Amino acid sequence: MKIVLIGFMGSGKTSVAQLLAEKLNLQFIDMDDLILKSSEFKSINEIFEKRGETEFRKMEMKIAEEIAQEDNIVISTGGGVVMNEKTMSYLTTNSKIIFLNLSFEKAKQRVHLKKILPPLFQNIFDAKKLFEKRMPLYLKYADITIDTDNKNIDNIIKEVVVKIKEN
């Protein structure tokens, strides 16, 4: 089984993926971590600063290609994977795509808890536009959608497990 979590920044993809992997006894990987490890940079923000978004998307696509054939794994993606069809073609290979849905207000609250804001959340107005642009794409790729706004992580995991079995 290959499970891929997608969703906007702040939707909890990494925490959910980690716990889900534990619960289902699968391996866990985080694409942003893999991108960083394969680069000479210390943070995703530094990649955006020094190389720009276009280069970051290429690195993201390369990692998606490298992990396309993995199995028995839960993959946490970056919020922007849905912007690139090729990246999504690798991520959708033999996988179940789970979309962690949340409102923009919730995303903003969660992202603002971080010490350093992600590169594409520096400006609220731009982040909101990005959110609106991506929403139809998340829905298009999702095999399963989980509304997360008022749920704690345990309930989210329970719901994911039930829906995976049903799906």
Q: Which of 3, 64, 80, 96 binds ligand S3P (CB under 6 A)?
A: 80
- Reported as type and span, the H/E element at residue 98 is strand 96-101
Nearer to ligand S3P, 147 or 162 (CB): 147
Interaction between residue 32 and ligand S3P (CB under 6 A): yes
For ligand S3P, the nearest residue by Cβ is: 78
Closest residue by Cα to residue 53 from 91, 29, 83, 85: 83
| Closest approach of ligand S3P to the CB of residue 92, in Å | 18
Binding mask 91-130 for ligand S3P (x = CB under 6 A): ---------------------------xxx----------
Q: Which C-beta is closer to ligand S3P: that of 57 or that of 151?
A: 57
CA separation for the pair 42, 20 (Å, rounded): 27
Angle between helices 124-141 and 104-111 (to 10 degrees): 120
User: Between residues 80 and 102, which has the closer beta carbon with respect to ligand S3P?
Assistant: 80
In angstroms, the CA 92 to CA 109 distance is: 30
Say if residues 110 and 10 touch (Cβ distance below 8 Å). yes
Which listed residue (44, 91, 98, 160) binds ligand S3P by CB under 6 A?
44
Closest CA to 65 of 93, 28, 41: 93
Least distance in angstroms from the C-beta of 122 to ligand S3P: 10
x-or-dash string of contact with ligand S3P, 126-165, rule CB under 6 A: ----------------------------------------
Complete edge-to-edge strand list for the sheet that includes strand 2-6: 27-30, 73-76, 2-6, 96-101, 144-147
Any idea what DSSP says for residue 77?
Answer: P
Residues in contact with ligand S3P by CB under 6 A are 9, 13, 32, 44, 78-80, 118-120
